Chain A
């Protein structure tokens, strides 16, 4: 293989495998002709990355109308699942920020914040159960796929997620032991070494969750679910998308209420002061939730638009 051809092939890694199988050689030849021996400029790399990603989304039924409605339905449900992973990360950070909030002001002034917090917990539990139910419903088809030789196709992402989880789980006991040796103030930012370790662990946990989500999406795209199971998955995805929206709104309400009632609690300042409540925590959590809710809404629309077009019983 010549260097130019190798380079052309490498630039196409953004495209899905089935697309590369059909058009990859031709596009690699066009890239070589366009470059004429020069190194690929950043603009070309970006253009191919964007075009390849768009092709990946299109071939997965996430965008466009070229795939059958059943693929739209499946893609919509998987988009909601991916958005839910973002909600879980944001909700984890929210749980940390909101620790002991009920003790910082008179109960009467915290009614709205407590209601919003309870709503987050209830919607989170509902969506988590829905995701677990979705995994259980898909489990027979997943097992059939794996037993019939599908394992090599999903091995790499599953192993990657497994290694990340082992790292996160392995570090947790030491982090907990460390936390127990510190007081509340040290745990909440006064000890920079512990804070750095905790943030590092949280990022690693987020990465592990993202890798499991990617592995789950990769597996779910390959298995044959059948129209009935697909509809059940889609219905569960609708519930998860609604729960994500409820969580997004409730967290915003909680933050707004706490900013009014006890702003010092949100910024770690002395009680009674009124510092800015637009902290990095708030911007990060609310920003991530906003993105996740928009993505979930897109998945929901995709599910609802394809719902009627998918037959209830398989066509023979």
Chain B
């Protein structure tokens, strides 16, 4: 059973999963988020895609803006967001474990 917030958080390259994963490491503003995501996932999110996902996550209460006088407003993950991310990660882990088991020795051949 997943929370409503976990809906749509199934693929590892989903912008919402990437943003939640990045914010789980601490609050960040848009540019820092994009840089962090590129460094840990190799995915370059454009400003349009990044803010589309930020809007959805913000509306669903999974992230929230941190008060700031700067135009570069940072965001942080909420408790609901952490729960949703945990559910998504558990899902991904379960799939990864099945894949690992079924691939067996062939897993080592993957680049």
Task: Please tell me if the beta carbons of B48 and A29 are within 8 angstroms of each other in the complex.
Answer: no
Q: Which residues of B contact A28 (CB under 8 A)?
A: 71
How far, in Å, is B84 (CB) from chain A's closest CB? 16
Q: Complex formed: what's the CA distance from A31 to B51 in Å?
A: 11
How far, in Å, is A114 (CB) from chain B's closest CB? 51
- Decide if A281 is an interface residue (CB 8 Å cutoff): no
A42-50, A127-135, A181-189, A297-305: which lies at the interface? A42-50
Q: Complex formed: what's the CA distance from A23 to B59 in Å?
A: 12
Q: Which residues of A contact B47 (CB under 8 A)?
A: 27, 30-31, 34, 44, 47-48, 51
Task: Please tell me if the beta carbons of A47 and B71 are within 8 angstroms of each other in the complex.
Answer: no
How far, in Å, is A58 (CB) from chain B's closest CB? 9
30 sample A-B contacts, Cβ–Cβ < 8 Å, listed by A number = A23-B54, A23-B55, A26-B51, A26-B72, A27-B30, A29-B29, A29-B30, A29-B71, A29-B72, A30-B30, A30-B31, A30-B47, A30-B50, A30-B51, A33-B30, A33-B31, A34-B31, A34-B34, A44-B46, A44-B47, A47-B49, A48-B48, A51-B46, A51-B48, A51-B49, A51-B52, A52-B48, A54-B52, A55-B52, A66-B59
- Decide if A178 is an interface residue (CB 8 Å cutoff): no
Q: Which residues of B contact A43 (CB under 8 A)?
A: 46
Q: Which residues of A contact B54 (CB under 8 A)?
A: 23
What's the count of A-B pairs with C-beta under 8 Å? 58
Mask, B19-52, CB within 8 Å of A = 1, is: 0000000000111001000000000001111111
Q: How many residues of B contact A (CB 8 A)?
A: 18
- Decide if B93 is an interface residue (CB 8 Å cutoff): no
- Decide if B101 is an interface residue (CB 8 Å cutoff): no
- Decide if B73 is an interface residue (CB 8 Å cutoff): yes
Of A28, A30, A33, the most chain B CB neighbours within 10 A belong to A30
Q: Which residues of B contact A29 (CB under 8 A)?
A: 29-31, 71-72
Task: Please tell me if the beta carbons of B55 and A19 are within 8 angstroms of each other in the complex.
Answer: yes
Q: How many residues of A contact B (CB 8 A)?
A: 21
Our pick among B34, B52, B55, B56 for the contact of A30 (Cβ within 8 Å) is B34
**Which of A46-82 touch B at CB < 8 Å?**
47-48, 50-52, 54-55, 66
Of A48, A50, A51, A55, the most chain B CB neighbours within 10 A belong to A51
- Decide if A118 is an interface residue (CB 8 Å cutoff): no
Q: Which residues of A contact B50 (CB under 8 A)?
A: 30
Mask, A242-253, CB within 8 Å of B = 1, is: 000000000000
Q: Which residues of B contact A66 (CB under 8 A)?
A: 56, 59
Q: Complex formed: what's the CA distance from A33 to B31 in Å?
A: 7
**Which of B49-100 touch A at CB < 8 Å?**
49-52, 54-56, 59, 71-73
Task: Please tell me if the beta carbons of A47 and B48 are within 8 angstroms of each other in the complex.
Answer: yes
- Decide if A25 is an interface residue (CB 8 Å cutoff): yes
**Which of A1-49 touch B at CB < 8 Å?**
19, 23, 25-31, 33-34, 43-44, 47-48
Q: Complex formed: what's the CA distance from A51 to B48 in Å?
A: 5
Q: Which residues of A contact B59 (CB under 8 A)?
A: 66
When C-beta atoms are compared, the residue in chain B nearest to A59 turns out to be B55
Task: Please tell me if the beta carbons of B55 and A26 are within 8 angstroms of each other in the complex.
Answer: no
How far, in Å, is B9 (CB) from chain A's closest CB? 16
Our pick among A26, A44, A54 for the contact of B71 (Cβ within 8 Å) is A26
How far, in Å, is A304 (CB) from chain B's closest CB? 23
Q: Complex formed: what's the CA distance from A44 to B46 in Å?
A: 7
How far, in Å, is B88 (CB) from chain A's closest CB? 19
Task: Please tell me if the beta carbons of A50 and B34 are within 8 angstroms of each other in the complex.
Answer: no
Apart from A25-B71, A25-B73, A48-B47, what 11 extra A-B contacts exist at CB < 8 Å? Answer: A26-B29, A26-B30, A26-B71, A29-B31, A30-B30, A31-B47, A33-B30, A34-B34, A51-B52, A55-B52, A66-B59
